[in-house]
Structure 1
Amino acid sequence: MPRSRLRQQRRGSTGRGGADAVATVEQVRAAALALPRTSEHLIRDRVKFRVGRIVYLALSRDETVLGFAFPREERALLIATEPELYLSPEPADERYNWLQLRLAAVSEAELREIVLDAWRMAVPKRVAAEHEAALATALPPGPTLAQLRSAAAVFAGYGAVDAGWERWAAATAAGPDLALPAHREALHRWLNSWGCRLRYPREGEPDLFSEALEGWWNDHAAALPAAGSTLARLTDDQLTALADAYAELAALCVSPSPKRTLGPTAAAKALYALRPAAVMPWDAAIAKHLHGARDGAAFHRHLRCGRAWARAVIAESGLDEGELPSELGRPTVPLAKVLDDYLYVTITAAVPLDPPPAGPVDQ
């Protein structure tokens, strides 16, 4: 089916002026940065999104018009069919596979489809196929705002649930840096306060935990999402970097006798400590229930779940990601932790909620 016909069919199904809110610049950014190999650039006061050197999205300077990659041979028909939405390219761009649209005239759902189609024109077919295959792996349904609020109330009732976190945050107030021995020691103590039971070195023993963490940090710190990155805005490349870092972190030898590795639960929690707004941690019960495994691929899927769930509750609430925890009764932690609280309450602790959570995932 030609793209123009397909787009027209989509518009008929979503309905302009219906329940969907109009698209925003932030939604353009979120949709683009979720796609593999995409990077954002500011070029001559215009925000553009590229794959390598190929621009496939470009916002106008006033951010009201979005230019995007589109087959040149189908352009005239689409503009004639929907002139209130689509615009001809600027004269300098008419020779390219390019089209423009008014952001105020398109819904978020339509925007995501348009961004995806434009991205497909900029990447090799193999990359697009791999992305489609990943999307085809169904993710479990996430919680609603009501379910998060209910779980947060239960979790808060467990007592001083954030005391250990507050000590870790105070010890690393300038930002976690595992190149510093004091920060590695603080992480060790925080993990143990969260039930990880990692043995401290005896007198005369090497501190394998500290040594292993320092080496891991040297290898992975530069590839981690920047401090302050949030779960809902992680890109696919950032998810991959976190999953790779997790796999190596979990395999670190941190105790000589008996010899033990850091393990999946402590690795996930350590990554959360380092990037709290970006990483939704897990424990053994959560990993088994949702993913049936605790390897790097399962953790990648877990982060994909967290990203999708975060975006869904942000859309449901109409609030920013940073505002949601306060609205849900957990003002001192990020949304990633609120989602983890929900999983702990409903899976690990098996507390029934009202309304109840979604059922188990088909593997």
Structure 2
Amino acid sequence: MATVDDVRRLALSLPRTQEHLIRDRVKFRIGSIVYLALSRDESELGFAFPKEERAALVAAEPAKFFLPRESDLRFNWVEAHLGALDQDELTELVIEAWRMVVPAKVARAHLDPPAAPPLPPAPSLAELRSSDEVFNGFPGVDRSWLALRADTGSALDLARAEHRTALHRWLNSWGCRIRYPREGEPDRFGTELAAWWRRHTLADAPLARLTARDISRLAGAYEELAALPIGRRSLGPTAASKALYALRPDTVMPWDAAIAQRLYGSRDRAAFARHLELGRTWARAALEAAGGIPEADLCAELGRPAVSLAKVLDEHLYVTITHRA
């Protein structure tokens, strides 16, 4: 059974989509064109659909689909009982509705992206050491991270309001620009973050020991987190990856837009899974090259004792891709 959260997750994963609350109804649109709209009680979903085909759709499954009100019959639009849709149906309907209102080249770029370039080989220990020398030269390189750890102890727990606030501050220290609530205003980011945290159990194995199942679940958590609504926009891919790193610093190799675009040509769920797979391969290679010493000892030898191997690998990508851009 499809839910409002499923609609939001799918819609906000599609390029140019914005969520708006209009007359107490949640709507998703491209520019000024609405392509999805929930009823006020969120039990019904209206969506863009060719009007010449909708009579056949409704006739085929009248318990699931129905015509819009008379004033909307002139539009390419039809309605559905949200709870009657399964996940596959909802995905197809949302994507096809979105495709109707975006330029064809935008749809092609998202749905049929060019093949990603081959992934780079694992860096040598000398290359990692060289990158970390550069990274250590950046002003206040570990200041915000150490402050986060001081505020939250050994692990972030997003069930705690003070930990959510600490993560909010840390993300903004990295330029994520998540608005702080004004006095007396509800903390929507904190509320959405807490709900996301309750829905996901994140793997906590070191990056080198992640299983395929771990990676799949982390990628799913990333996808939902990136689509998390914060004001007029979603949290986004970079902030989502950094938040996952903050939650699981030994497990998650984060990224930024430049890294994701260079390596994968995308920042969707599949690309993030590939990124974790790349990190796992690189972490295993680094540990093997170091003779199997403990990960913490390797990071110290590379000049980065305050962070994990996942972060060391991220810093190498930052220095060799983002910093050079």
Which TM-score band applies after superposition, normalised by the shorter structure? 0.5 to 0.7
CA distances 1:189-209 after superposition (whole Å, capped 9, x unpaired): 000111211111123432111
Counterpart residue number, 1:326: 300
Counterpart residue number, 1:9: none
Amino acid at match of 1:321: E
Measured in 2, the distance between the counterparts of 1:338 and 1:266 equals 18
CA distances 1:155-184 after superposition (whole Å, capped 9, x unpaired): 000021111000111111142110000000
Give unpaired runs (5+ residues) of structure 2: 1-116
Please list, as runs of the form range in 1=range in 2, the aligned pairs for 1:33-48 lying within 5 A after superposition.
none
Please list, as runs of the form range in 1=range in 2, the aligned pairs for 1:192-203 lying within 5 A after superposition.
192-203=172-183
Measured in 1, the distance between the counterparts of 2:154 and 2:171 equals 19
Which SS does the other structure have where 2:233 is aligned? Answer: strand
Measured in 2, the distance between the counterparts of 1:161 and 1:200 equals 24
Counterpart residue number, 1:179: 159
Deviates more, 1:193-202 or 1:150-159: 193-202
Sequence identity of aligned pairs in percent?
60
After the TM superposition, which parts of structure 1 deviate over 6 Å for at least 4 consecutive aligned residues?
Answer: none
Counterpart residue number, 1:61: none
Which SS does the other structure have where 1:155 is aligned? Answer: helix
Structure 2 residue corresponding to 1:265, chosen from 226, 233, 238: 238
Counterpart residue number, 1:225: 203
Counterpart residue number, 1:67: none
Counterpart residue number, 1:283: 256
Say whether the 8 Å CA contact 2:296–2:305 is kept in structure 1: no
Amino acid at match of 2:225: L
Measured in 1, the distance between the counterparts of 2:139 and 2:119 equals 32
Amino acid at match of 1:314: L
CA distances 1:37-56 after superposition (whole Å, capped 9, x unpaired): xxxxxxxxxxxxxxxxxxxx
Structure 2 residue corresponding to 1:169, chosen from 133, 146, 149: 149
Amino acid at match of 2:135: F
Counterpart residue number, 1:86: none
Work out whether 1:302 is the aligned partner of 2:278. Answer: no
Work out whether 1:210 is the aligned partner of 2:183. Answer: no
Measured in 2, the distance between the counterparts of 1:195 and 1:148 equals 25
Give unpaired runs (5+ residues) of structure 1: 1-136, 352-363
TM-score between the two structures when normalised by the length of structure 1: 0.56
Measured in 1, the distance between the counterparts of 2:155 and 2:130 equals 31
Residue 138 (structure 1) shift: 5.8
Work out whether 1:247 is the aligned partner of 2:247. Answer: no
Measured in 2, the distance between the counterparts of 1:161 and 1:288 equals 24
CA distances 1:103-160 after superposition (whole Å, capped 9, x unpaired): xxxxxxxxxxxxxxxxxxxxxxxxxxxxxxxxxx964312111110000000000021
Amino acid at match of 2:235: L
Say whether the 8 Å CA contact 2:295–2:309 is kept in structure 1: yes
Please list, as runs of the form range in 1=range in 2, the aligned pairs for 1:7-18 lying within 5 A after superposition.
none
Work out whether 1:342 is the aligned partner of 2:316. Answer: yes
Measured in 2, the distance between the counterparts of 1:177 and 1:166 equals 16
Measured in 2, the distance between the counterparts of 1:343 and 1:293 equals 16
Pairwise CA RMSD:
1.4
Counterpart residue number, 1:144: 124
Counterpart residue number, 1:83: none
Amino acid at match of 2:311: K
Measured in 2, the distance between the counterparts of 1:345 and 1:175 equals 27
Measured in 2, the distance between the counterparts of 1:169 and 1:203 equals 26
User: In the comparison of the two structures, how many residue pairs are matched?
Assistant: 208
Measured in 1, the distance between the counterparts of 2:285 and 2:168 equals 34
Amino acid at match of 1:248: E
Residue 320 (structure 1) shift: 2.3
Counterpart residue number, 2:170: 190
CA distances 1:298-323 after superposition (whole Å, capped 9, x unpaired): 00000000000000111111122222
CA distances 1:79-121 after superposition (whole Å, capped 9, x unpaired): xxxxxxxxxxxxxxxxxxxxxxxxxxxxxxxxxxxxxxxxxxx
Amino acid at match of 1:225: A
Residue 218 (structure 1) shift: 0.4
Counterpart residue number, 1:53: none
CA distances 1:271-322 after superposition (whole Å, capped 9, x unpaired): 0000000000000000000110000100000000000000011111112222
Counterpart residue number, 2:35: none
